[in-house]
Amino acid sequence: MSEGVIERVGSGAHGVAVLVTGARGFVGRALVPLLAKSGYRVIAASREPAGAVPDGAADIRRLPSPDKAPDAAFDALLEGVDHIVHLAAIAHTRLSAEESKKAYHQANFLLTKRLADAAARSLPGKMVYVSSSRAQCGASFRGVLTEHAKPEPVDDYGRTKLAGEIAVANALTPSHFSILRPVLVYGPGVGGNLATLARLAALPMPLPFAALTARRSLVDRDALCRAVLHCMESQATDGGTFLVADAHPLAVSDIVVALRHGLGRPSSLFVLPSALLAFAATLAGQGAKWETLSRDLIASSSHLAATGWKPQTDTMAALRNAMKQNAT
């Protein structure tokens, strides 16, 4: 990124335009207001632009079809845009295996590649690609996960996110991109596995999770949004790939306790042997989610922190606050 661009994207960068894909998603709903508050003109991009413009966005544009639209459509999308934050992705589908593979390919790889190629043609600033720790490993990892570990994704989601990373790095010079690999993100309105755990935590009865001592890294949504802004504005992140996680992992049992406390419930956990829990999860068709609860995934964000970003340091309190906001 040139010195002129760096000057324009400093604090108080009024008039600098940022295109945000996935602006209506879980992370986008927090990121767009943060960027607007920081002085950026935010343009949302959506496959379905009809309806209300996301809070904080100045405009919304249609996201072209990754497999059908001509290059000119992506060039038009980036007209007047200084930076891109690419959040849009598919993490889960209910399609057949073959259809899911195609959907992941189009949404997570091909769309990313088309955006990166268009950015290489015209973008004066930076593309921040929000990938996933699943581009590097599965639901668990032995030891502490760092960026030095060889990427070994285990499913179509992870493989296509990694392919998207490679497409960005191949299309753009280092000064024009940064890649973030967040672990599981939490915050008000979270979905996925944490939403399932939150529903269990809300039950008005003791829960058999005291023996779930596996430690999991999580990342606070607000901290992830700050990481995106940091990557846009800091030359220290140019061309880098960064894991994003809170400072300290939590045992799954502590995660449940924090969720329950956020709902005003007592901890009320008791021990049930892990083998029985695993058996029950398998019978319920939740074997994959059981792996997430029963094995470690400890990720270090020290590489990103070394560039000046500050992680969330009190995950228990942040989880409690997220649940309190959900309950109001």
| The pLDDT of residue 321 | 95
CATH number at residue 127: 3.40.50.720
Residue 271 pLDDT class (50, 70, 90 cuts): very high
**Residue type at position 68:** K
In a domain, 300, yes or no: no
State how many domains the chain has: 1
Q: Which position has the higher pLDDT, 283 or 141? A: 141
pLDDT at 79: 98
Interatomic CA distance for residues 17 and 41, integer angstroms: 5
- How many C-beta atoms surround the C-beta of residue 30 within 10 A? 22
Residue 256 placed within a domain: no
**Cα distance between residue 133 and residue 139, in whole Å:** 9
Mean pLDDT of 273-300: 81
Gap between the Cα atoms of 137 and 149, Å rounded: 9
**Beta-strand pair 127-130/250-251:** unpaired
170: containing domain: 3-185+219-245
Q: Does residue 199 sit within a domain?
A: no
DSSP state of 176: G
Which of 49-53, 98-102, 116-120, 260-264 is predicted with the least confidence, judged by mean pLDDT? Answer: 49-53
CA distances from 307 to 31, 144, 219, 236 (A): 20, 20, 18, 6
DSSP codes joined into one string, 242-257: EEE--SS-EEHHHHHH
Of 92-101, 104-113, 235-244, give the lowest mean pLDDT range: 92-101
- pTM here is 0.93
Rounded to whole angstroms, the Cα distance separating 181 from 167 reads 15
- Residue 200 in domain: no
Q: Is 49 within a domain?
A: yes
Which residue in this structure is represented by tokens 């790939």? 241
Three-class SS of residue 59? strand
Q: Quick one: pLDDT at residue 304?
A: 99
Q: For residue 276, tell me if it sits in a domain.
A: no
The Cα–Cα gap between 19 and 124 comes to 13
Q: Is residue 326 part of a domain?
A: no
| Residue 6 pLDDT level (bands cut at 50, 70, 90) | very low
Predicted pLDDT at 2: 34
Q: Which residues pair with 129 in a beta bridge?
A: 86, 179
Residue 71 in domain: yes
Matching residue, tokens 């108080």: 12
